[in-house]
Amino acid sequence: MLRSTAAALAIALLVQDSATSDSEKSKLHDELAASALDTGEQLIKLKAWDEARAFLELVRAKSDARAEALDKLIAKTDKQTSGLKWDAKSSDLVKAFGAERAKGFFAFAKAWKEKDAEAARWTQAEGEILDDLLDYVKAYARLTQIRAHYELPKTRFDWKLSVPAVWHARYKLLNPSDAREIEGKAGFTREGQATATNSVSSARESISDLVESIGQAPFYRNYLLNPRLIATGLGQVKGARLASVVDVETGLSEQKTGLTSLAVPKRNASSVPVTGYDDYTPIFGGKTMRQLGYPISLIFFDPTIRPKDVTGRLSLNMKDVEVYVSTPESPFGASITPSHKNTILLVPKTPLQPNAEYKVTIRYREKGEEQVVEWTFRTSH
């Protein structure tokens, strides 16, 4: 009896010693995918289509484990939308799932810290993403919704980009005034330093709020609306404040797209906000975007297009509306990143009128020929 017990113990120790960090992580990924199926089914039963799709795609991006079953569930959400209502039931499901699955990732990071420090470091950050999964799913769902509104290709959630984004978010939490990571400071990592050059970050917003503000902001929306953005990294860290990061450039495809320009708001759009989104920084005329009209952009994604002699007009009932104008020839605010050298921007000097149809007319010369771009949109009630 003692001999058999000792033999069993020896075998168990041998199996433990022969285990690798890769094999143990594969088990974590499989468990993650398997448990996501049930939660995805529940979200679909609640008709939380957008939430379910974002949740399943985020988990699907972590591993190919049970890929076929996950893809079948994702297919059930096609051509369906819930408008991202985020009721208590769908929110609780995602939050509880993430908190439960994070435990395994944290346990792995602790167990392998001495044996495989690099695997432990990455898995710890992955666990932090899962532990905060609701905000990540909300942010990714909103990003998907914004791009779908403009009929742009879907961008996938990328875990390999998101882990360094988490590290950079931690640096931002500790060093909120730094635009770039500085070696030697608390929270510095090489990966976070690289991410910083390709990201938009905030030391005071959640990741979902940051995605929304980037999508609306006149000086940054061209990042999220780039048709070549095929993969996105998201990172968030909580402390006394919130710090968040969206990697908007590492995941750019090198392949050209057929889209050369994009109008914002889109042509014939309705329910356009009457003001801008950001209420933090005075930009035009000492006013924040909340005090100005909704910013209008014509963004060029073809680098060979270099518009010159630009004029922009916004009208309501055939009467001109006063606007600030920024052009590729004369971008507003050279210190602002990006400096809008690929965008013609019109910012109304006062909030727009509700439930009103506005007309945009932009003229410019390109390769010696005059180009005219016109479109209309209607504001919200």
Question: pLDDT (tens digit, 9 = 90+) per residue, 288-327?
Answer: 999 999 999 999 998 888 899 999 999 999 999 999 999 9
pLDDT score at 339? 53
More confident residue, 39 or 64: 39
User: Do residues 272 and 162 share a domain?
Assistant: no
| Per-residue confidence band for 286, with pLDDT thresholds at 50, 70 and 90 | confident
Classify 200 in phi/psi space as left (phi over 0), alpha (psi -120 to 50) or beta: beta
In this model, does residue 334 exceed pLDDT 80?
no
Q: Is 34 helix (H, G, I), strand (E, B) or coil?
A: helix
In a domain, 252, yes or no: no
- pLDDT at residue 6 above 80? no
The answer on 285 and 138 residing in a single domain is no
How many folded domains does the chain comprise? 2
Band (18; pLDDT cuts 50, 70, 90) = low
pLDDT at 110: 97
Mean pLDDT of the chain, nearest integer:
91
- Cα–Cα separations (whole angstroms), residue 301 to 250, 257, 259: 17, 9, 7
Do residue 47 and residue 174 come from a single domain? Answer: yes
Q: For 176-214, b where at least 16 C-beta lie within 10 A, e where not — what string?
A: eebeebeeeeebbbebbbebbebbbbbbebbbbbbbbbb
Residue 374: inside a domain, yes or no? yes
> Which H or E run includes 232?
strand 231-238
pLDDT at position 170 is 97
Among 5-9, 244-248, 331-335, name the most confident range.
244-248
Residue 80 domain-assigned? Answer: yes
Q: Is residue 139 part of a domain?
A: yes
* Contact indicator for 244, 202 with CB cutoff of 8 Å: yes
Answer yes or no: is 13 within a domain.
no
Q: Is 10 domain-assigned?
A: no
- Does residue 227 share a domain with residue 122? yes
CA distance 224 to 232: 9
pLDDT for the residue 338: 55
Residue 300: predicted pLDDT = 93
Residues 237, 286 within the same domain: no
Domain boundary among 199, 219, 247: 247
Query: Is the pLDDT at 99 greater than 90, yes or no?
Result: yes
Sheet holding 343-348, edge to edge: 261-264, 296-300, 343-348, 323-326
Q: For 41-67, what is each residue's pLDDT tens digit?
A: 999 999 999 999 999 999 999 988 899
Q: Are residues 221 and 292 in the same domain?
A: no
Q: Is the domain of 195 the same as that of 237? A: yes
CA distances from 195 to 57, 335, 367 (A): 23, 20, 36
Q: Where among 247, 273, 302 does a domain terminate?
A: 247
- Is there a single domain that holds both residue 293 and residue 214? no
Q: Contact at 8 Å (CB) between 272 and 380? A: yes
Tokens at 215, concatenated: 């999508």
User: What does the longest C-alpha to C-alpha distance in the chain come to?
Assistant: 96
Residue with tokens 């009457």: 274
Asked if residue 338 has a cis previous peptide bond (ω within 30° of 0), the answer is yes
CATH code for the domain of 335: 2.60.40.1220
Domain match, 268 and 173 both: no
- Please, are residues 231 and 158 in contact by the beta-carbon 8 Å criterion? yes
CA distance 39 to 37: 6
Tell me which of 207, 222, 247 is where a domain ends: 247
Is residue 277 within 8 Å of 212, Cβ to Cβ?
yes
Task: Assess whether 240 and 274 both reside in one domain.
Answer: no
Q: Is residue 195 part of a domain?
A: yes
Residues 73 and 110 both lie in one domain: yes
The predicted-structure confidence for 119-168, as pLDDT tens digits, reads as follows 999 999 999 999 999 999 999 999 999 999 999 999 999 999 999 999 99
Specify whether the CB–CB gap between 230 and 217 falls below 8 A: no
**Pair 208, 330 in one domain:** no
Q: Is residue 167 part of a domain?
A: yes
Domain residues for 76? 20-247
Could you give the angle at which helices 88-111 and 133-149 cross, rounded to 10 degrees?
120
Of the ranges 103-117, 185-199, 231-245, 330-344, which one carries the lowest mean pLDDT score? 330-344
